[in-house]
Copies of this chain bind each other. A is one copy, B any other.
Amino acid sequence: MSTAWTARYALRTKSITSSQIRELLKFTQKPGMISFGGGLPAPDVFPVERFEQACQKVLAEHAALALQYGETEGYAPLRELIASNMARYGIKAKVENVLITSGSQQALDLIGKLFINAGDRVLVEAPTYLGALQAFNVYGAEYVPVPIDDNGLRTDLLEKPLRSGPKFMYVLPNFQNPAGTTLPEKRRVELVLLAERYGIPIIEDDPYGQLRYEGEHLTPLVVLDRKNVARDNGYSIGNVIYLSTFSKTLAPGLRLGWIVAPPEIIAKLTQLKQGADLHTSTFTQFVAYEVARDGFLDKHVKLIRQIYRERRDVMLAALEEFFPAEVTWTHPQGGLFLWVTLPEGLDMQAVFKSALEQNVAFVPGDSFYAPAAHSGCNNGDHGNAHREGSRHMRLNFSNATPERIREGIQRLAAAVKSQLAATNMRSESSLGV
């Protein structure tokens, strides 16, 4: 029904499409459903007792500040804690380099607001994080997708896309969402040098960096950037803006993320944030600080690593055990996701429906591919993106218990096998004709 309002939508609403993941969440609430769909942490690892103590302390000692309006930049002790935690990974940020955001998602929205004019290009991995595309779409971004392989972004394919003049690159170097891949040190160095050579800055999104289950921690781009350009007069001249979050280490329900950037960028983002929500909840910031402080966060992250490593291993073993030989998958060194590649010719919509009938859910891969910017022929590109993604499934291994992971993969294997059989029958019968 048309109202005075609906006739008045802004042009940017053209780009609003409902997220497939979002729609999926409805299925996951069906009783008996095993969902590998969302990116949800395990509720069993939430440090509830520590939260109880933190809430008590905050309300007993700081209620007048913790319930009041606060500074847009965020609660200073929390910003300090973040800065000092990051220092251990070589990220030498000061408090004035840190802006608290309402989850990492708000960081992406503010970055879109600050940098993207309609028609601007953003270089993204193919596939990439769907939420980033949703945030940037609103500002009229077009995309230059660059393929990934088992080692993340194909830096050997970057020069031509960089010459097309994207406004910035958006990259997830650690345990990528959706593919679970990690960019090796050599590619990181190449990426940072290319960024410097072409003058194209980088958004480094690192929500999972601390959740590494094997191998050595790799240097963040934001650190390499400063080393490689051999400039040592502080953070203010960096090419890389770094994003992270407490959603995967404490609790996503807090909605607490952060941006690390040069002070002049932080100042602009702060002004945009003021117009967007004044500031992030002071209460959740005070509580998160009390939870995280005195080394608790580190101990807790160790526990999460242990639990998620087991779940990843259970999923990998179940895939090995139950999935047909034609199917392959990534071996993530950390994070929450792995990426399954099905043989060509399978109808992914049919696999998806069949899986839901078996009470198991995942996210079909095509959601994660941005359509490539081209003059005029966006439909065709979208078709390409769709085709590229249509062989993949993203599977989350953090949320379900090991028992349910095994059971879910078994169900999913049944769905895949039934569709493989149907496809083979179709192709045999068409050969027969």
Binding site for B on A (CB under 8 A): 1, 3-6, 8-13, 16-19, 22, 25, 38-41, 43, 46, 48, 51-52, 55-56, 59-60, 63-72, 102-103, 105-106, 108-109, 113-117, 120, 131, 134-135, 137-139, 167-168, 195, 199-201, 236-239, 241, 247, 251-255, 261-262, 264-265, 268, 271-272, 274-284, 287
Contacts and interface: CB of A to CB of B under 8 A. Distances in A.
A282 B265 contact: no
A116 B52 contact: no
Given A5-B262, A69-B253, A236-B3, A43 B64 contact: yes
A3 B72 contact: no
A18 B267 CA distance: 9
A255 B280 CA distance: 7
A238 B52 contact: no
A8 B115 contact: yes
Contacts of A117: 10-12
Given A59-B51, A237-B3, A277 B254 contact: no
Given A131-B278, A281-B253, A236 B69 contact: no
Given A5-B239, A51-B67, A108-B275, 6 more contacts: A3-B264, A10-B116, A55-B55, A68-B252, A135-B276, A283-B287
A292 to B, nearest CB: 14
A179 B424 CA distance: 74
B236 A271 contact: no
B265 A278 contact: no
A190 to B, nearest CB: 17
11 contacts: A4-B195, A8-B201, A10-B113, A13-B268, A48-B63, A51-B63, A51-B67, A52-B59, A69-B247, A254-B281, A283-B287
